[in-house]
Amino acid sequence: MPKSVRQSFDEQQLIHIRKAIGDRSEGEHSLDWRAVFTLPLCGWHFYFVFLLGKNRRELTDKEKQISILLGVLLISVVTLLGLLFIAVAMYLLKSAAGIDLFPDFSLGLWHWFKVNRM
């Protein structure tokens, strides 16, 4: 912005401009990770930004719906991963105890675990 234009704004106008376009001052987010690499794709280069912090604005109805949907999705994924972990742990415990529920059938997980454990 040219200096003459910049000097024509008063403090109140500058506050509203910063608020509208977002002031990029340090310490605004709990986590501010800006990618140090770009991803070339179809002649364009994309960069990644991950920001995490407390939301200080009101969400629109659409944003609230998306937020709820993403929350349900996150809880579902975490629950499924937890159940998968429990199932694998139970399978390994069953195999370690020598319990054979289905004769002549194995997933091969116990053998892999015995060979690759530290």
- Picking from 16, 19, 37, the residue whose alpha carbon sits closest to that of residue 28 is 19
- Two tokens, residue 112: 């892999």
Domain boundaries, the chain: 60-118
pLDDT single digits (tens) 45-86: 888 888 788 777 788 999 999 999 999 999 999 999 999 999
At residue 118, does pLDDT exceed 70? Answer: no
pLDDT at residue 25, as a whole number? 55
Spatial separation of the C-alpha atoms in residues 66 and 19, rounded to whole Å: 24
The larger pLDDT score, comparing residue 70 to residue 96, is at 70
How would DSSP label each residue in 49-68? EEEE----SPPPHHHHHHHH
